[in-house]
Amino acid sequence: MLNRKTTTRLFLSLVFLTLSSVAVGADPVVLTGPVVNPANGHTYYLLSSDTWTASQSAAVALGGNLVTINDSAENAWVFTTFAGFGGVTNRFLWIGLNDVAVEGTFEWANGELLTFTNWSFGEPNNTGGNENYVGMYPIAFSGGEWNDFNNGTFQGFESGGVVEIVPTPEPVTILLFATGLTGFAAGTLRRRGQVAR
């Protein structure tokens, strides 16, 4: 049986382990969201500063990915909605674009095709041979243009991931759609006189 001293020591060890794991393995947290973009109905979150890979893991845990920027309107909306959140002007925004799989071939984390880019002048340049993760420049640097960075954070700056959740059709929607199609087909056949009433 454990005496009181041993029990206290065990308890303190547990507390220490818990605190140290929080300090070492802290995940990014949601700073704001869910926010719905009225232009596409998609849901977004802004995460606290972290690396691209930690931000992407948090995005997946929220049911999405780091944002796919499909056009200039979405780029502008993401920048104006999240770059200055909390009154800061020094926040880089991680987006889903990366060339981790094949150097120089940029892909979106959610698998959508690359149809729009907003590279800053001279980017992407793969500085140091290890820049595989794309972020938007903060308000302090005019803002919204893209640069490839390494998988770090930025000293003296924030590096917040933007999460996008693209809604998938609900099963009930598919069922209604299928029912509608069946009804439409039956109506067509009836009009053609191919089905006895």
- Is-contact 83 93, C-beta < 8 A? yes
Q: Report the nearest approach of Ca ion to the CB of residue 181 (Å).
A: 29
Contact call for residue 125 and Ca ion (CB under 5 A): yes
Contact call for residue 55 and Ca ion (CB under 5 A): no
Tell me whether residue 90 or residue 110 sits nearer to Ca ion (CB atom). Answer: 110
d(CA 43, CA 162): 10
Enumerate residues 59-118 that contact Ca ion by CB under 5 A.
Answer: 68, 70, 99
Q: Report the nearest approach of Ca ion to the CB of residue 110 (Å).
A: 8
Q: Report the nearest approach of Ca ion to the CB of residue 51 (Å).
A: 15
Tell me whether residue 99 or residue 107 sits nearer to Ca ion (CB atom). Answer: 99
- Is-contact 43 34, C-beta < 8 A? yes
Contact call for residue 158 and Ca ion (CB under 5 A): no
CA gyration radius for the chain? 24
Compute CA 23 distance to the chain's CA centroid, rounded to the nearest angstrom: 23
Q: Report the nearest approach of Ca ion to the CB of residue 76 (Å).
A: 12
Task: Output the CA–CA distances (angstroms, integers) from residue 192 to 28, 80, 188, 195, in the order listed.
Answer: 61, 55, 6, 8
Contact call for residue 132 and Ca ion (CB under 5 A): yes
Contact call for residue 44 and Ca ion (CB under 5 A): no
Count of CB atoms situated within 10 Å of the CB of 33: 18
Tell me whether residue 70 or residue 159 sits nearer to Ca ion (CB atom). Answer: 70
Q: Identify which range of 12-20, 25-33, 83-91, 141-149 contacts Ca ion by CB under 5 A.
A: 141-149
Count of CB atoms situated within 10 Å of the CB of 47: 27
Residues 85, 58, 108, 91, CA torsion sign: positive
Instruction: Name the site residues for Ca ion (rule: CB under 5 A).
Output: 68, 70, 99, 123, 125-127, 131-132, 147-148
